Chain A
Amino acid sequence: MVVKEEVEVIKEVEKEVIQTVEVVKEVEVEKIVEVEAPDVPKGELIVSVSTFPNSIYMPNAAERNASNVANQIWEGLTWVNDDGEVVPALAESWEISEDGTEYTFKLREGVLFHDGTPFTAKDVVASWEAGKDPSNAYAYNAEKAKAVEVIDDYTVKMTTEAPDPLFLRSTLSKDWAMIPAAYYEEVGLEGIEKNPVGTGPFKLIEWVKGDRIALEAFEDYWDEGLPKVAKLTFRPIPEEATRIAAVQTGEIHIANRLPADEAQRLLGVENVKVVRYPSDRVYYISFNNLTSGIGTPIEDKLVRQAFNYAIDREAIIDALFNGYADLSTGYITPGNLGYDASIEPYPYDPDKAKELLAEAGYPDGFEIGMACPTGAYTNFEQVCEAVGGYLNDVGITFEGGEIQFMESGQYWDLEANKELPPLFGDSWSTTDGEAYNRLQGALGADASYAAWNTAELQDYIDRIGSTVDDVERGKLYSELHKIMYDDPPFVYLYEPNTFEAINTAVQNYKPRAAEDYFLKEVFIAGAE
């Protein structure tokens, strides 16, 4: 449903980008018509990752690059398909109790792990226990289930604390990795990290740290006819310019996370097509009303609106993202459940900003502290500089004379302790197709990173977090979207586009807004 719209956006956008180079477009269309997927896995697909994955065990995979490798090896009980629907994966069906806290899963029979052992109910329990280990970075995902019990070999019952609308969609689809219980008992968490054994379409051959992660097709994969490539290799290449070079020379098939400007240059290159898709990550300048912002002018709603009017975000997007980013209207993005398309982004109107500031009692502006992280996000330092310039234009000056830039590790430390200045820049992504985690994380009363909270917002967050019905929840999101627009806890900046360059031989590759890769259906034209 909701995500489906986004996939269409992707295709539209793709055409638009490619249209600027006619030849590329024609060649590509011909190929799609001619090429058919092979019956057996063939060829090698080489994909770049922009960081060195820390772990390919899901509960520890620190960021998208790592989890994208993990996605090929592990599976959850459910899966979210390309149309954004929750569909069966390792669980064939499920029932949810009246009060929404008890889930009974019927497991798929005949599923094998990479080591040949069959997948049964006790493996689900082991996966839950392994995931809860406090040394896991994402241990809290496993803790979302209070209890997991074996009913019989192919039936499992799970209990949650309260109704959890994202339990099937996120927690069980991508946050848990199903591991074999016997193997876990034998080798422990360390062994799982080192030699992962899952049920996914690909199994690990070797992981040469810093060089490659090589996977091969799992011949006994339960989903008949998949995967389509015999080998799948991930190559870590942190430098953008090198990823661009490597896709041009044909050394890799998919170059991820490219800067907008440089991606344009690839439009004229033979054998390479450029795709662009909006990513579900909101960039913003946050206000603080919990610690450092108490008693400052930003507590006034008019001031916060003025800030939103004061910044020419279109110019920022043009200058720094070559025009390829969407103006943000709030924490709920176009692909999210409950997005209200009628809300227009704040226009650039410095006069209106000054008026609002005057109305709030600050005709000459005021001084306030602002901080931004460095080395965290593409071009974000420059975005902050630009924001600073626009705020100066309406009379806002910064404590210490300028924006404080801090190394990201130190920055997030301070952010988690609510010790940043009253204005600070950051971003928040979600992979759920809805904004709950982002809202709870940045605004929830008990969240580490939250700097802003009001009773009204908290009430909405609580209600969203316990409303299982999608339509009802969607309505709540829409209302909240409007409220957070009128009385903004953030200066909403932009949602960037992701650019990737892909070898034209690669077929059936469908990128998702969350940058999640599921590569089992991808094949290579003409692979032997």
Chain B
Amino acid sequence: MQRYLLTRVVQSLFLLLGVLIVVFFLVRLTGDPTSLMVAKEAPAEQREAFREAMGFNRPLIVQFLDFGAGILRGDFGDSLHFRQPALELILERLPATFYLATVALLLAIVIAITIGIIGGSNPGSAIDSLGRALGLFGQTIPNFWLALILILIFAVNLGWFPSFGRDTSISVVLPAVALGFGSMGQLVRLTRSAVLEIRNEDYIRTARSKGISQFKIGARHVFRNASLALVSVISIQYSYLLGGSIYIETIFSWPGLGNLLQQAVDGRDFPLVQAIAFFISFFVIALTLLTDVAYALIDPRIRYSS
């Protein structure tokens, strides 16, 4: 187990290095952000002076080495747009994004698993139809569209929730629903088919004949049998939510990383794009690592096969 862990950690570190290299050169390929930052009226000399001051005129490899050395010191460079260390900006925004993604996922899990188990245990019932509908619509309604509709109905017409920002404790509800809707659909489908699959197994029939409630049976056996699949889907969904919150955060003006990425991309804020891409990749890699470890703990066979 320790050996396995060590190998996976080392692998992850190399992965991170690869990400760093790819992101750096990709971002650099887009050209020089001077035109976006210096006023249109500025004379040519000022454009040059600016380029010089920002170090855009140095050879790429020098810029890369500088960047790499910085990271080892925990310095991701300064955001061009905000004139502030990129790391500082990211750390400021990170909690909001984690919070939103976590609430969205928890909401999705709780609703999806409840509906999935009840529906799956009673195929054809109203709840089952709801589950099937959720499963389909979750993957067919664009989340930014849903976000706009949610604002119109629940903020403007009903006045139940704020329309933007993160001012009160209920501010998270609308963005979390919009963000988690797709995941909810996926999880409902997964849970439902897991329940259906084991429904007719002998031990379930036995349990049912003993008078154990449908839901309890479903819950217990689904978790035992489908926990591996669930762990992996949840981890995938979580990293998707972390990286995919860009539309939702923009619409709800949620002070998170997605919002920041949208701006950084818009303004070709190199250091910031790099740093955000790096951080999101870091979390995705860390999540994968954790999932793999969880897998190895749940099912020891996996360790040997990989």
Residues of chain A at the chain B interface (Cβ within 8 Å)? 51-52, 54-55, 60, 62, 134-135, 137-140, 143, 190, 193-194, 208-212, 235-239, 241-242, 245-246, 248-249, 251, 375, 408-410, 412-413, 415-416, 428, 437, 440-441, 446-449
Contact = CB atoms under 8 A, between A and B. Distances in A.
Contacts of B155: 245, 249
B255 A210 contact: yes
B202 interface: no
Given A409-B35, A413-B35, A449-B40, 17 more contacts: A139-B42, A139-B50, A140-B39, A209-B82, A209-B260, A210-B92, A212-B165, A237-B164, A237-B253, A238-B253, A239-B252, A242-B151, A245-B164, A246-B164, A409-B36, A412-B40, A413-B34
Interface string B138-163: 00000000001001100110010011
B192 interface: no
Interface residues of B, number: 54
B127 interface: no
A134 B49 contact: yes
B52 interface: yes
Contact of B41 (A210, A235, A437): A437
A245 B157 CA distance: 9
B253 A242 contact: yes
B23 to A, nearest CB: 18
Interface stretch (B25-33, B110-118, B183-191, B225-233): B25-33
Contact of A139 (B32, B49, B148, B151): B49
A446 B83 contact: no
A428 B39 CA distance: 11
A48 to B, nearest CB: 9
Contacts of B259: 52, 210, 238
Contacts of B151: 241-242, 245
A62 B163 contact: no
Q: Which of A211, A241, A410, A416 has the most CB of B within 10 A?
A: A211
Contacts of B92: 208-210
B162 A416 contact: no
B83 A245 contact: no
B44 interface: yes
B132 interface: no
B83 A242 contact: no
Given A137-B38, A242-B163, A251-B163, A375 B266 contact: yes
A115 B11 CA distance: 53
Interface in B9-59: 30-44, 46-47, 49-50, 52-54
Contacts of B36: 408-409, 412
A54 B253 contact: no
Given A428-B40, A440-B41, A448-B47, A242 B252 contact: yes
12 contacts: A54-B267, A137-B37, A139-B46, A143-B46, A190-B83, A210-B92, A245-B164, A248-B156, A409-B267, A447-B43, A448-B43, A449-B40
A443 B33 CA distance: 23
A268 to B, nearest CB: 13
Given A236-B253, A441-B41, A60 B83 contact: yes
Contacts of B256: 210
Contacts of A236: 253
Given A248-B156, A409-B36, A134 B253 contact: no
B199 interface: no
B50 A137 contact: yes
B50 A208 contact: no
A135 B53 contact: yes
Nearest to B247: A239
A416 B39 contact: no
Nearest to A429: B40
Contacts of B255: 208-211
A257 to B, nearest CB: 14
Contacts of B34: 413, 416
Contacts of A238: 250, 253, 259, 262
Contacts of B89: 209
Given A440-B41, A449-B40, A409 B251 contact: no
Given A135-B50, A209-B89, A375-B266, A249 B35 contact: no
A210 B34 CA distance: 23
A413 B38 CA distance: 11
Contact of A140 (B33, B46, B250, B253): B46
Contacts of A249: 155-156, 159, 162-163
Contacts of A140: 39, 41-43, 46
